[in-house]
Amino acid sequence: MSPQKKLLIPVSTRRKAVDDFFPFNSLPVECQLHVLSFLNEFDKCSCALVCLSWSCLVRSWKLWRVADYSRRGAFHLGQEGLLVSNREFERWKSWVHHYTHHLVSRRASLLTLKASFDLGDRCNKWSELLSHLLDNIHCRDLSHLDLNWTFTLFEPLDLRVHSSSSSHQDSITKMDQVTSFQELLGKLTHSCPRISKMRLHFDWSDLSVSLLTRFQQLRILELKYFWVFKLVTPSTLQTLTKSLPNLKSLTLHILVPLRNLGISYTLESKSLEFLDVSPSRGLVFSCLNLPALRELRAKKIVRGITLDRRTRLRIQSRWPCLYHVLQQGTPKLQALNNERLLPTWREKSYGELTAILEQSCYCVQHLDSWLW
């Protein structure tokens, strides 16, 4: 006996039923754009293939708010550090240029820009690519910048090796990186004055500090070290923090060179509420004027270089105890190294904080012997 045939439903009836169930096209355009804004780039491109109306929606600049050049999932290359071939790298470069053309053609209005390019690379000219992007999109509303300008993602190891491995060649490469970075930072000051969150390597030159202080809307700032042996002067650091009136969170990666041991720093900010200097090495504060600070993270990092007792004591005698610095300059401090402080911690002996201070204070009272 043949199976019973199902009744055929007219196409018009089916379309009407679908429209009744999911009346997406009946929503206002702004609502449709808001719904599509939750999709990633790949899904947006897939939606553009559904119908003509969706294709027009996806082309709207309002849907392209994020430019993320650091995505790894598109190539399934696994975790960072995985060796890749030259062929895979060329494929990734092709994707970068197509992605840039895609953003420019849609006149994207960016809120977030994430990238990792060696701006000193004269062959691939990543600096010119980013400049071209900023010149041809809407970026006045850009609020989040995450930029590693010292390293290119997925670059094979053999392409990173220069023709000459001398220190002179390394210095030239770093100078190219700094020059391109400063040019890009200058462009950002004019094109993207509303950046409120910034994470990038920093060279601590006078020009770069001057450019960075122009971002008056900065609320969250993380500065990683660019060159290990680059000295950050106390006046430079103080100038930077005093010039950013809306700064709430600051993370510093500073490596103080051995020749500059004994130098201590002053930090002043009326708005800063969170300070993390735990990634830094040899960063010692002589004075803090942070009336709004609520949380501090600081860690004493051992480098493995042994100093004789006389040299060590001579250096340590120049540094004040972190407890007294905090007692005088942070009236609203509530947490130190993720440990909650009692409201009366300033009124009692710092003996209660000894365990915490031994991990973060360089002074003689908290270090009987140490390695640098």
Give the torsion through C-alpha atoms of 318, 324, 330, 336, to 10 deg: 100
- Predicted TM-score (pTM) of this structure: 0.81
Amino acid sitting at position 156 = P
Q: Identify any residues that bridge with 268 across adjacent strands, giving them in sequence order.
A: 289
- 190 pLDDT band, cuts 50/70/90, is very high
Q: Which two tokens stand for residue 212?
A: 């960075």
pLDDT digits (tens, 9 = 90+) for 227-256: 766 778 889 999 999 999 999 999 999 988
pLDDT at 322: 86
Closest among 1, 155, 157 to 88, alpha carbons compared: 155
Q: Quick one: pLDDT at residue 7?
A: 55
Q: What is the pLDDT of residues 194-226, one digit of tens each?
A: 999 999 999 999 999 999 999 999 999 999 988
Mean pLDDT to the nearest integer, 80-85: 57
Would you say how long the chain is, in residues?
372
pLDDT surpassing 70 at residue 9: no
pLDDT digit string (tens) for 19-61? 456 677 778 888 887 887 787 766 777 777 788 887 787 777 6
Q: What is the pLDDT of residue 149?
A: 94
Given a cut of 50, whether residue 163 has pLDDT beyond it is no
Q: What's residue 329's pLDDT?
A: 92
Instruction: Express each pLDDT in 113-139 by its tens digit.
Output: 999 999 998 899 999 999 999 999 999
Q: What's the pLDDT at 50?
A: 81
H/E stretch holding 224: strand 220-225
- The pLDDT of residue 12 is above 60: no
